[in-house]
């Protein structure tokens, strides 16, 4: 929640253009890194962790990112959510990373209620069909960010409003009727007679 996509997307292109390996991050240094990621929340803490993490990757893992969650969580600044994101995005593992958006959506809707992110993660792991697990947390994040918003959820456009257990929801999604077929002209299609229609 401290780092918005807008802030991250603004900072990373220029950063990765000059420092896309642990070795290059170390060479960049903490102060310069901090200046380059100023658009990200808690940027000084993140810069410190990235430099420490880069050193650990070189020292313990040959400069490579490990693909084991327990090992990832030993790295500076890496918790379970970040580890799950890395495994999902970088290694294609069907992991569900619970951020504030997913935590809110899972609890509001009743999809996977829980008092902690781990409880929500466990619930989502059990309720999400295997074929959807790779993309599930991406979809839930988008739903939480743009529809099931923290302060003012947009319930009228929500596609699962009728299934949602949120007591304060503002109403179900409106059903939009399909347009009726227009009757064809009696003379449509007759050679040399009648008016031509859009179909003809």
Cα-based distances in Å from 37 to 16, 65, 164 = 11, 21, 38
Residues of the chain within CATH 1.10.340.30 domain(s) are 5-64
Pick the CATH number of 5-64 from 3.30.470.10, 1.10.340.30, 3.40.50.300, 1.10.10.10: 1.10.340.30
Which CATH architecture fits 100-157? Orthogonal Bundle (1.10)
Active site residue 81: yes
Q: What's the mean pLDDT in 153-158?
A: 94
CA dihedral (38, 144, 16, 44) positive or negative: positive
pLDDT, the chain, mean = 87
pLDDT in tens, 46-71: 999 999 999 999 999 999 999 999 99
Q: How many residues does the chain have?
A: 200
Indicate the range of 100-109, 149-158, 187-196 predicted with least confidence: 187-196
Q: Which two tokens stand for residue 111?
A: 């999809």
Contact criterion met (CB below 8 Å) for 65 and 90 = yes
> ∠ CA 71-73-75 to the nearest 5 degrees?
85
- pTM, two decimals, is 0.78
Which one of the listed residues 70, 81, 115, 169 is annotated catalytic? 81
pLDDT in tens, 179-198: 555 555 455 444 444 444 44
Q: What's the mean pLDDT in 130-150?
A: 95
Which one of the listed residues 10, 70, 99, 126 is annotated catalytic? 99
pLDDT computed for residue 168 by the predictor: 84
Q: Has residue 89 got a pLDDT over 70?
A: yes
Q: Does residue 188 or residue 127 have the better pLDDT?
A: 127
Residues of the chain within CATH 1.10.1670.10 domain(s) are 100-157
């Amino acid at each position: 929640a401290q780092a918005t996509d807008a802030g991250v997307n603004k900072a990373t292109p220029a950063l990765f253009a000059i420092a896309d390996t642990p070795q290059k991050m170390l060479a960049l240094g903490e102060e310069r890194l901090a200046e380059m990621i100023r658009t990200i929340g808690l940027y000084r803490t993140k810069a410190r962790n990235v430099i420490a993490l880069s050193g650990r990757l070189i020292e313990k893992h040959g400069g490579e990112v490990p693909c084991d969650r327990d090992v990832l969580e030993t790295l500076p600044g890496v918790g379970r959510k970040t580890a799950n994101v890395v495994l999902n995005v970088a290694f294609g593992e069907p992991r569900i990373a619970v951020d504030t958006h997913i935590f809110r959506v899972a609890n509001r809707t009743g999809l996977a209620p829980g008092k902690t992110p781990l409880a929500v993660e466990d619930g989502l792991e059990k309720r999400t069909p295997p074929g959807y697990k790779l993309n599930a947390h991406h979809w839930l994040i988008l739903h939480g960010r743009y529809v099931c918003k923290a302060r003012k959820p947009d319930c009228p456009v929500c596609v699962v409003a009728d299934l949602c257990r949120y007591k304060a929801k503002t109403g179900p999604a409106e059903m939009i009727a399909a347009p009726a077929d227009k009757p064809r002209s009696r003379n449509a299609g007759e050679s040399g007679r009648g008016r031509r229609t859009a179909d003809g």
